[in-house]
Structure 1
Amino acid sequence: MMNIMSVMIYIPMIMIFCGCWGFISYNKHMLNSLLSLEFMMLGVFWLMSTQLALIGSEVYFSLFFLTLAACEGALGLTMLILVVRSHGNDIFSSFNLLEC
């Protein structure tokens, strides 16, 4: 039977894998891409917090990582709002790179 520590390591790995799979396969809309990136960041944060708790290290690095992930999410939402206002939707196939 698996102990709780191995489960606490496997679940974030599955989250990271599912986030990568979602980012690669469902990349038609920008919102889907941003959500899968945030899901990967959540998995990385959970894995890092678990590993830092196991070795008894400081947790300040995980708080710093969480702050950077929140800033990344805010920048992604800002880009999404700018794209929707300028192009009318968030579908990648409708973007024209030559258009200003």
Structure 2
Amino acid sequence: MMNFSVLNIIGAVFMIFSGLWSFVSYHKHLLNTLLSLEFMMLGIFWLMSLQSLNIGSEIYLGLFFLTLVVCEGVVGLSLLIYIVRSHGNDYFKSFNVLEC
């Protein structure tokens, strides 16, 4: 029988690889790629929190990581809003003729 912590690690690694797979394969919309990046970051945070439980009660690195993930999400969503307002959609096929 597998240990509970091994199942958590397998779940987090599966979460990271499924986010990576969706990032590589479903690249029609910008919103899909941003969601897959956030899914990968949640998997990495899960692994970091599991590791911090093994080491001790040090959570400041996890909070710093979550702060960076939130900032990355805000920048991605602001770029998405800017692109939708300027081009009318978020298709990657329409980005080859970007104008300044």
- State the TM bucket, normalised to the shorter chain: over 0.9
TM-score by length of 1: 0.95
| TM-superposition CA deviations, 1:46-72 (whole Å, max 9, x none) | 000101111115110001000100110
Q: TM-score scaled to structure 2, two decimals?
A: 0.95
2:75 matched to which residue of 1? Answer: 75
Q: How many residues align structurally?
A: 100
Give 1:8's aligned residue. 8
Contact 1:48 1:62 in 2 (8 A): yes
**Equivalent-residue separation in structure 1 for 2:98 and 2:39 (angstroms):** 32
1:96 deviates by: 3.1
Residue pairs, 1:12-31, within 5 angstroms: 12-31=12-31
Native 8 Å contact 1:53 1:59 kept in 2: no
Aligned to 2:45: 45
Runs of 4+ in 1 over 3 A off after TM superposition: none
Corresponding residue for residue 60 of structure 1: 60
What whole-Å deviation, never above 9, does each CA across 1:8-65 have from its counterpart, x for those lacking one? 1111100000000000000110000000000000000000010111111511000100
Tell me the percent identity: 64
Letter in 2 for 1:62: G
Is the 1:38–1:73 contact (alpha carbons within 8 Å) kept by the matching residues of 2? yes
* Paired AA for residue 58 in structure 1: E
Return 5+ residue gaps in structure 1 as ranges.
none
CA contact (8 A) 1:15 1:39 kept: yes
CA distance in 2, matches of 1:97, 1:55: 50
Cα root mean square deviation, aligned = 1.0
What is the CA distance between 1:99 and its match in structure 2?
A: 1.9
